Amino acid sequence: MADFDFDKAMSFVNKHASIIDKTRFYILYMDEVSKTHKSQLSKMINSREEGKLFSLDYEPENPPSVISTVYFLSHFQDAILMIHENYLISDLILALLPYQNQDGSWSECSEMLEWDKLPEWADTKEEASKIWVSALATTVLSTLPSSFVSISVIKKGIDYLKKHVDEENGGIKDLIHATFVASPLIYSRMLGNRDFVEKTNKLITQTIVDNDFGGTLGWYQEQLSNVTTPKIRSAFVELFKKIKYLQLDDGSFMSEEGDDEKFRAQATVQALIGYLKAEERIKTFQKPKFSSSVSRK
Q: Residue 187 domain-assigned?
A: no
- State residue 122's pLDDT score: 59
Q: Residue 295 domain-assigned?
A: yes
180-220 pLDDT, tens per residue? 999 999 999 999 999 999 999 999 999 999 999 999 999 99
Q: Give the dihedral of Cα atoms 137, 141, 143, 149; nearest 10 deg.
A: -170
- State residue 48's pLDDT score: 87
Q: Is residue 64 within 8 Å of 54, Cβ to Cβ?
A: yes
Q: Residue 178 domain-assigned?
A: no
The answer, as to whether pTM is greater than 0.85, is yes
- State residue 127's pLDDT score: 82
Q: Residue 106 domain-assigned?
A: no
Structural domain including 231 reads 1-17+211-297
> To the nearest whole percent, how much of the chain has pLDDT over 70?
89
CA 222/CA 133 separation, integer angstroms: 17
Residues of the chain short of pLDDT 50, as ranges, are 1-2, 288-297
Burial readout 44-83 (b: 16 or more C-beta within 10 A, e: otherwise): bbeebeeeebbbbebeeebbbbbbbbbbbbbbbbebbeeb
For the chain, the first-to-last Cα distance in angstroms comes to 17
Q: Residue 107 domain-assigned?
A: no
CA 289/CA 283 separation, integer angstroms: 8
Q: Residue 265 domain-assigned?
A: yes
**Per the structure, how many domains does the chain have?**
1
DSSP-assigned letters across all residues of 140-177: HHHHS-TTTS-HHHHHHHHHHHHTTB-TTT-SBTT-HH
Q: Residue 274 domain-assigned?
A: yes
- State residue 286's pLDDT score: 53
Q: Residue 279 domain-assigned?
A: yes
39-84 pLDDT, tens per residue? 777 788 888 888 999 998 888 888 999 999 999 998 888 778 777 6
